[in-house]
Chains A and B, each alone.
Chain A
Amino acid sequence: MSAAEKMSRRDEMETLLPFYLNGSLEGAELEAVEEWLASDPAAMAALGEAEAEFSGTAAANEAIRPPADALSRFARALDAEAGPARAPAGQSWLAKIFGRVTAIPSGVAWTAAAALLALVVAQSFERLGGKGNDFEIAGAQDDLANLPFALIKFKPDAKMSDIAAFLGQNGLKIAGGPTADDVFHVTIPASTAADYDKLVGLIAAQPFAEAVAQGRKPVDGG
């Protein structure tokens, strides 16, 4: 017979009290403790003693203060173990900017989009005809290169059939893309700035469009 088996009922109940207090007791042992607490006048005093031990143990543990910079040091150790963290797929700088554009009010969004456009178009023209571009831009002699265009990012769940139908109905053509950020270069068949704005606005209103930024826009009278 083990020492545990030799315990008296009082000993057994005293042994179980810490587990009664921490809420982990269940089944027959929980019933036994509850019955003891309800029937033995000494039991409630014993419970009070166990509660005092509970407090004393908590205080002894809480007195140990972990270092404040533990998380940052662990993060460095994790990076050393697993290698430098990479941004999740689709979260390149351009995707992030597009995400922000779509998350802000439309008026502000278009201002931001214009700024983005300036950046992307400048890069595009710098790379014109070069190799290793994110997306193909037609050569300088190509008509497409002179056409108005917009930069469009489609929603991940967009249906290709919906996009193709919309493009066909409005005379739009995909001239390049997708880039690594899933941005497409779409020609806009517009001869005036008003027509261009109308078509770009129409694209932006489509349920499959996640973000639209203006590209080359016709200059009225130009």
Chain B
Amino acid sequence: MNAATETDRALVDRVAKGDRAAVRLLFMRHHARIYRFVARQTGSEMMADDITNEVFLELWRQAPSFEGRSEVSTWLLGIARFKALSLLRKKKEDWIDDDAAAQVPDSADTPEVVTMKEDKAAALRRFVDALPDEHRTVVDLAYYHGQSVTEIGEVLNIPVATVKTRMFYARKKLGEALKAAGYDRGWP
């Protein structure tokens, strides 16, 4: 356990005692990552804004029952994931996000053609974005949120073996997309 983790837990203890300054500190520390996680989950920054606020209000409500069995960041991501899925289910039929629509590549260009205009880094970023949700989420949680296999399993409520399988296929798809774009990486 590193010092930052201990501080997070100490802050949650303070929140449990009704310390609003502590919840604001946790908000400042984790807000951007939770916001981005939800935005990637939902494809909507508007939903991300609402849900992220709700995540930290939930932190305020649930802090007394936090048992410290997981890292605070993992706990928050789990709350965010649950709230994002709940809201997505509720708004599935009528939610249209302009930002997400704007990110869909122009159909006049095939992925290969688009990629030819970019360097490898930009191509990778595009390919990560284009992964199926369940694969991209695992990639995001590992690469951006620094979560372990076990922690990702906790956040997504799936077995460790499933986390590995999703990571395997996510990386396989990235390799195939790169290969199709002329960047052969030698695997798969």
Contact = CB atoms under 8 A, between A and B. Distances in A.
Contacts of A53: 124, 128, 139, 143, 171, 174
B165 A22 contact: no
Highest count of chain A CB atoms <10 Å: which of B35, B48, B143: B143
Interface residues of A, number: 47
Interface of B: 18, 20, 23-24, 27-28, 31-33, 35-36, 39-40, 45, 48-49, 52-53, 56-57, 60-61, 120-121, 124-125, 127-129, 139-140, 142-144, 146-149, 151, 161-162, 164-165, 167-168, 171, 174-175, 185-188
A18 B169 CA distance: 13
A3 B60 contact: no
Contacts of B168: 3-4, 7, 11, 14-15
Interface stretch (A42-50, A102-110, A154-162, A165-173): A42-50
A57 B135 CA distance: 12
Interface of A: 2-5, 7, 10-11, 14-19, 21-25, 42, 45-46, 49-50, 52-62, 64, 66-67, 70-71, 73-75, 77-78, 81-82, 85
B146 A75 contact: no
A24 B146 contact: yes
Contacts of B31: 66, 70-71, 74
Contacts of B53: 70, 73-74, 77
B185 to A, nearest CB: 5
B120 A81 contact: no
Given A4-B164, A22-B142, A73-B53, A64 B124 contact: no
Contact of A23 (B146, B185, B186): B146
